[in-house]
Structure 1
């Protein structure tokens, strides 16, 4: 599939962490009059995550249609919260619930990883931030510093596409639910007709009082949109002339992406990567490291973020092109998961994101030393190749080959 063209007429606001994202999201939900659509990989009501749940509850109780989709692997919402939200009228669906064998079943690694919200068809949100408090981690508990992540708030034509994307996903899941209840014929007809039956959203107003940013929504799924996000990255990298900054939580780029970054560095572009510096998951942490050697030799700067977990999936190229979204640059995102990124061409938006990333690299990260990397221990290397082998095996089970 080709990369969608960027359209003008958008007002876009960068939001860092749940401390900025949640207040903006809650304000939009509290102003909702007709509909709230929300998709997230993790929905956790610990800490400030509960504030979002309360906002959804308030909206449903005043008659707003509230439809929430969560991922079956990422979310284990407490029964008390699930009951409370459903009693208020919140419609809840779980994408691909895990069975007894969990992720061991082929196909179960295909997760709903995107984070999207549209309110009344007028304002949209997209990014990497789950409904999860910045200072809480479901696996590691309380965090001393906030998770490093971004989302954006958008008003403009892009919101209509976001709405259609989410409404279509809801209808597909509804059809699948009916099929599981043995209404197979009607469900298949509903699925085939879903494109035509997606309810239209009110037209989003054009931005006023600020520069008309150009933007595009780029999706990744297992049907029509299989490689759009990776292609968008590679196109921007290939066109770069001065600087590429990428912050990515789980960075295991395939050959094409690695070659693009190496070629950019060799033609004089400053290539800087801000990556996960703290151990979070064995496979993602160690599988990334075998690819660092070739990048370091080409002159790519690698900075490891360590104050807290880095969860961002963002980039800035030449101070103009930027992307914020849910997609990691690893095979789980680029080959298996449903993802959503927004690409923005706007000097003001890019400048703010770049400023934050540069600060993180200079003051909150540690630059990787090429000599120390080459002299890392045999135990470290063994862990790396075990992790890479596990990743390759997991992909093979899903019928994929990436590295």
Structure 2
């Protein structure tokens, strides 16, 4: 793939692709039940439905048998978290914190946009789950396919990086909420031996040293791609640098394929993204909209060699504001497996957006697109975090 890029993945990883909740939650529950020393879990949403309660029970079982269990949930995503469930978790010995707690649904406080959007879990420093799947049922109702999403189960040296990232966020949150006993650095002594395996690297986005880390990895891989780029991303509102990179790739002959959500979920972002369809289609980019149900995936494949799975959307909220985590994997077998699964959804569950769909769009739709795009720019501009400039 051309010259060297900034990604420096480590070797010796065993990586398993997990599709949707049907594969993710059994892996999560099994890991909780097998843990002997500690469990770390981070999520944006933790719903008290059948799935959420099963996960809560597994966490409480672990705490009751002496496992150190630390759960960090975003304070906006968990603004309706049941008081009784919180008390049950704490009484069982689970250490539970909420990142930047938010009670009000609407506020002019710009800092509320800085959310903890990561979906990570780590067990005994030996096993990690990384992806985009929240703790909630992916059954979205009659007539809809299960929520379309991915995660990976990973064993290898990068697990230590996952644990360190989670512990750092946990300590920071505990200190900010005066939970000093929970803010102590906790060492875990493991002597893991890893066999040969795939190359992998954890990349996080935060508001200190890694502000543009995930975006930069995308840019590097797009610029180095020689044959194909496939991106499946639920919320797609790329900044100028990413748009230009995709256009350059398409114009130099790289097949660029985008699988995006339709207007079913978060219509503001979905319609705003239409503002970019015309130049992308004109350059030869293929755009598809997922129609079978709710799409929540955040994955990409580059030249059938590199792949990424994680929590980061390609929009200003993920790339400029939220705490995110993606794993980047360099392995043709894994990339091929993920590419095949995305292709299946492209064929079975998506419709192609053709140039004439944009050219012949009714005036009402065009006005709606530019209204939504303008609102997103306004929100990002008011945030004061450079979002308006990002979209220009």
TM-score range, shorter chain: over 0.9
- What is the alpha-carbon distance in structure 1 between the residues aligned to residue 188 and residue 85 of structure 2? 29
Give CA deviations for 1:171-209 in whole Å, capped at 9, x if unaligned: 111111129xxxxxxx7xx99xx7xx632334473444x
Q: 1:324 and 1:103 mapped to 2: Cα distance? A: 32
1:240 and 2:201 matched: no
Instruction: Figure out how many residues of one structure are paired with residues of the other and give that number.
Output: 383
1:344 aligns with 2:347: no
Q: Does 1:219 align with 2:222?
A: no
CA deviation map 1:276-302 (0-9, x unaligned): 024211321111110111000000000
Q: Which segment drifts farther, 43-52 or 27-36? A: 43-52
Question: In 2, Cα distance between the equivalents of 1:11 and 1:63?
Answer: 28
Alignment partner of 2:113 out of 101, 109, 112: 109
**Larger CA deviation: 70-79 vs 116-125:** 70-79
Q: Cα distance 1:126–1:166, how it changes in 2: closer, same or farther (>3 A)?
A: same
Render the CA deviation track for 1:324-353: whole Å, top value 9, x for unaligned: 000000000000000000000011111110
Partner in structure 2 of residue 205 of structure 1? 192
Matched with 1:93 is 97
| SS of residue in 2 equivalent to 1:291 | helix
Q: Name the structure 2 match of 1:53.
A: 56
> In structure 2, what is the Cα distance between the partners aligned to 1:33 and 1:332?
37
Spell out the pairing of 1:118-197 with structure 2 (5 A cutoff): 118-136=122-140, 144-178=144-178
| Greater CA drift, 108-117 or 2-11 | 2-11
**SS of aligned partner of 1:235:** helix
Structure 2 vs 1, CA of residues 202 and 362 (structure 1 numbering), >3 Å: closer, same or farther? farther
Query: Are the counterparts in 1 of residues 59 and 94 from structure 2 also a CA contact under 8 Å?
Result: yes
Q: Deviations over 1:125-150 (max 9, x none)?
A: 110000011104xxxx6673100000
Q: Which runs of 5+ in 1 are unaligned?
A: 180-186
Give me the CA root mean square deviation. 1.9
Residues 76-99 of structure 1: CA distance to partner in whole angstroms, max 9, x if unpaired? Answer: 221222122112111110001115
Residue 362 of structure 1 aligns with which residue? 347
TM normalised by structure 2 equals 0.94
CA positional deviation for 1:390: 1.5
Question: For the residues of structure 1 that align with 2:193 and 2:345, how far apart are their CA atoms?
Answer: 33
1:273 aligns with 2:258: yes
> What is the alpha-carbon distance in structure 1 between the residues aligned to residue 50 and residue 187 of structure 2?
35
Distance in 1 (alpha carbons) for counterparts of 2:243 and 2:104 = 37
Counterparts of 1:363-402 in structure 2, within 5 Å, are 363-399=348-384, 400=386, 401=388, 402=390
Greater Cα offset, 221-230 or 384-393 = 384-393
State the partner residue of 1:182: none
1:37 to 21, 28, 40: 40
Task: List aligned pairs for 1:301-340, cutoff 5 A.
Answer: 301-340=286-325
| Alpha-carbon distance in structure 1 between the residues aligned to 2:70 and 2:324 | 19
Q: Distance in 1 between matches of 2:189 and 2:227?
A: 40
Separation in 2, partners of 1:142, 1:4: 42
User: More deviation in 101-110 or 343-352?
Assistant: 101-110
CA–CA distance in structure 2, aligned partners of residues 127 and 243 of structure 1: 23
Distance in 2 of aligned mates of 1:118 and 1:386: 42
Whether contact under 8 Å (1:216, 1:344) holds in the other structure is: yes
Given the two structures, how large is their TM-score scaled by the length of structure 1?
Answer: 0.91
State the 1:381 CA deviation.
1.4
Contact 2:263 2:271 in 1 (8 A): no
393-402 or 262-271: bigger deviation: 393-402
